């Protein structure tokens, strides 16, 4: 019997192992390729590669939940009922979220030593809520909406913490705008993989995409704690505000070393701001001269960039909801409603990925000009689409909106890196993300309320962008000609 096992069992085992290696080879090679890409240029040593992988997991889980909600709230009922359901979804989830969003950033800003735990908590919360929604997704009951609100809040909390973490994980050879581009591109690629996976799971049952999201977010919970310990360090950081009364407060904070003096008894930070325990940061006595600097103290570039990006984000929210309903009633020529939505979604997603890739390749030496260019190009495209409305221009405006949003956001990141002091830079990222999310909500609400007329919709989109051009482009170009007194971007 031993001879038989040695003759028959040995070759069979070797054959099975060989077949297993052949079957595993494509997946192993793909995993190694992804690891090489995420860990290139020092990202593996700094920990940025792990953050890219974590964000990819986060984006995949969010997409699976989006597929489950879209199938319940939007696709499963006629258009008129779908508008009512989506309006209810906005009222029950987005309205409270808009009120909560300004609070999330400051709350997380007070917990700099627990960022890994905060990211893990956001992942675990969404995992549990996905299970909660799995019981209601088939019926579309009202209990689905509070859970969806919880998912939105947890997703926003993750985004705020991620923005604060990226500067802590920068490799020496990568600028902040390129690092954010890599993180965003990783999320987009994961979204592209998760979307068809979610659609396949939905064919089994409406709750199965949520089961998949549960597994993905549990994985994200574990991966959150794999980030380096320096993520939880708050050395040299302070809080930033979007409004401030001291135009010159920033000047005294020249180096990160000065930031370490704030908060000591009798120590001074920026321009006389005393951080002693005695005055409690001087908020109670109302002394405006002793408040930490806000974004208004770093010049006009960041504020004008926020205005321009808010207009682009409103356009994104508007197109998401308006075209979703418009193409169900008036699909692209000769196509079914579902295929029309798919074409526009691919155009928008492809544009976003292309803009992200361009941002990762370009050196951001003129972020103001880049923002002004993409905002103006978006306005021109929206005007042309309103005048010559048709299937081709609908696809073009979706693609241009995706490219513009990606490049505009990366240029905004570059400006924050360049003009905001390191001591308050991570806090500034949290507040800018909150403002942009609120702008998306406003644009989405307009898209829900507007009549389903393509020319009218594109005219409204052009008006939103024209407002952004009027308030931001001149200031951006003036700031670009004047230059930054403290250039930092490579």
pLDDT of residue 188: 85
> Residue 268: beta bridge partners?
274
Of residues 438 and 85, more confidence is placed in 438
Q: Which residues contact 452 (CB under 8 A, 6 or more apart)?
A: 322, 325, 326, 329, 330
Q: What is the pLDDT of residue 250?
A: 39
Residue bearing the bigger pLDDT, 469 or 115: 469
Reply yes or no on whether the pLDDT at 242 is more than 70.
no
CA separation for the pair 424, 112 (Å, rounded): 12
* pLDDT tens-digit readout, 466-485: 999 999 988 888 887 776 55
Distance between alpha carbon 372 and the CA centroid of its chain, in Å? 21
More confident residue, 359 or 407: 407
Residue range 412-437: mean pLDDT, rounded: 74
pLDDT of residue 299: 62
- pLDDT tens-digit map of 195-210: 899 989 988 988 899 9
pLDDT of residue 297: 52
Q: For the residues 434-439, what does the mean pLDDT come to?
A: 80
**pLDDT confidence band for 111 (50 / 70 / 90):** low
- CA-CA distances (angstroms) from residue 165 to 93, 256, 349? 27, 17, 25
Distance CA 176, CA 165 (A): 11
Q: What is the pLDDT of residues 53-106, one digit of tens each?
A: 999 999 999 999 988 887 766 555 555 656 666 666 766 666 666 666 666 666
The answer to whether the beta carbons of residues 147 and 133 sit under 8 Å apart is yes
Q: What is the pLDDT of residue 276?
A: 37
Q: Which segment, 175-189, 195-209, 386-400, 436-450, is predicted with the most confidence on average?
A: 386-400
* Res 211: pLDDT: 93
Tally the C-alpha atoms within 13 A of residue 250's C-alpha that lie toward its C-beta.
21
Per DSSP, the three-state class of 294 is strand
pLDDT at 57: 94
State the pLDDT at residue 99.
Answer: 66
Condensed to tens digits (0 to 9), the pLDDT of residues 308-329 reads: 999 999 999 899 889 988 888 8
339 or 401, higher pLDDT: 401
Query: SS3 for 149?
Result: helix
Query: Which of 5-9, 256-260, 362-366, 429-433 shows the lowest mean pLDDT across its residues?
Result: 256-260
Q: What's the mean per-residue pLDDT of the chain?
A: 75
| Average pLDDT of the residues in 253-265 | 35
Residue 183's nearest CA partner among 344, 360, 326, 306 is: 360
Specify the 3-state DSSP secondary structure of 340: helix
Q: Region 6-13: what's the mean pLDDT?
A: 55
Confidence of residue 397 (pLDDT cuts 50, 70, 90): very high
Judge whether residue 258 has pLDDT over 70.
no
User: pLDDT tier at 254 (50, 70, 90 boundaries)?
Assistant: very low
**pLDDT of 464 over the 90 cut:** yes
Report the pLDDT averaged over residues 8-18.
Answer: 59
pLDDT given at position 308 = 94
pLDDT for 216 equals: 96
Q: Is the model's pLDDT at 459 over the cut of 90?
A: yes
Residue 17 predicted with pLDDT over 70? no
User: 305, exposed or middle or buried, with CB in 10 Å at 0-12, 13-18, 19+?
Assistant: buried
Residue 244: which pLDDT band, with cuts at 50, 70 and 90?
Answer: very low
Is 29 a residue whose pLDDT tops 80? no
- The burial of 191, by beta-carbon neighbours within 10 Å (0-12 exposed, 13-18 middle, 19 or more buried), is given as buried
Q: How high is the pLDDT of residue 166?
A: 81
Average pLDDT, stretch 429-454?
Answer: 82
Looking from the CA of 178 toward its CB, the CA atoms found within 13 Å total 19
Are 322 and 464 spatial neighbours (Cβ–Cβ below 8 Å)?
no
């Amino acid at each position: 019997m031993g001879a038989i096992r040695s003759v028959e069992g040995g070759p069979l085992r070797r054959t099975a192992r060989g077949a297993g290696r052949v079957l595993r080879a494509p997946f192993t090679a793909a995993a190694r390729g992804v690891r090489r890409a995420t860990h290139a240029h020092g990202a593996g040593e700094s920990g940025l590669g792990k953050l890219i992988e974590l964000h990819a997991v986060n984006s995949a889980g969010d997409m699976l939940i989006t597929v489950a909600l879209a199938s319940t709230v939007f696709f499963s009922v006629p258009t008129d009922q779908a508008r009512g359901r989506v309006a209810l979804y906005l009222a029950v989830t987005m309205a409270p979220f808009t009120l909560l969003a300004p609070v999330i950033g400051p709350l997380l800003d007070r917990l700099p030593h627990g960022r890994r735990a905060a990211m893990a908590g956001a992942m675990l919360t969404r995992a549990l809520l996905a299970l909660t929604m799995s019981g209601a997704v088939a019926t579309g009951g009202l209990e689905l909406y509070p859970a969806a609100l919880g998912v939105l809040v947890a997703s926003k909390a993750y985004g705020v913490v991620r923005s604060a973490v990226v500067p802590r994980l920068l490799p020496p050879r990568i600028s902040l705008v390129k690092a954010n581009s890599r993180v965003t591109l990783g999320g987009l690629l994961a979204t592209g993989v998760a979307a068809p996976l979610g659609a396949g799971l939905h064919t089994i049952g409406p709750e199965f995409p949520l089961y998949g999201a549960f597994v993905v977010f549990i994985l994200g919970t574990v991966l959150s704690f794999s980030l380096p310990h320096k993520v939880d360090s708050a050395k040299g950081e302070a809080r930033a505000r979007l409004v401030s009364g001291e135009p010159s407060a920033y000047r005294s904070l020249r180096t990160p070393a000065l930031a370490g003096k704030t908060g000591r008894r009798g120590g001074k930070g920026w321009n006389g701001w005393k951080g002693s325990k005695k005055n409690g940061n001087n908020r109670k006595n109302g002394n405006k001269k002793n408040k930490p600097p806000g974004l208004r103290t770093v010049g006009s570039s960041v504020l004008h960039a926020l205005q321009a990006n808010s207009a682009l984000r409103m356009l994104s929210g508007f197109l998401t909801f308006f075209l979703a309903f418009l193409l169900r009633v008036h699909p692209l020529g000769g196509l079914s409603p579902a295929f029309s939505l798919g074409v526009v979604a691919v155009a928008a997603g492809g544009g976003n990925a292309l803009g992200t890739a361009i941002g990762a390749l370009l050196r951001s030496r003129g972020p103001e000009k880049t923002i002004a260019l993409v905002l103006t190009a978006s306005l021109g495209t929206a005007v042309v689409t309103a005048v010559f409305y048709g299937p081709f221009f609908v696809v073009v405006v979706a693609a241009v909106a995706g490219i513009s949003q990606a490049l505009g956001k990366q240029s905004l990141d570059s400006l924050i890196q360049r003009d905001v002091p390191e001591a308050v830079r991570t806090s500034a990222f949290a507040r800018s993300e909150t403002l942009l999310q609120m702008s998306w909500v406003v644009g989405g609400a307009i898209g829900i309320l507007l009549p389903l007329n393509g020319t009218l919709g594109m005219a409204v989109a052009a008006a939103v962008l024209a407002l952004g051009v009027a308030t931001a482009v001149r200031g951006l170009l003036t700031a670009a000609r004047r230059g930054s007194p403290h250039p930092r971007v490579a």
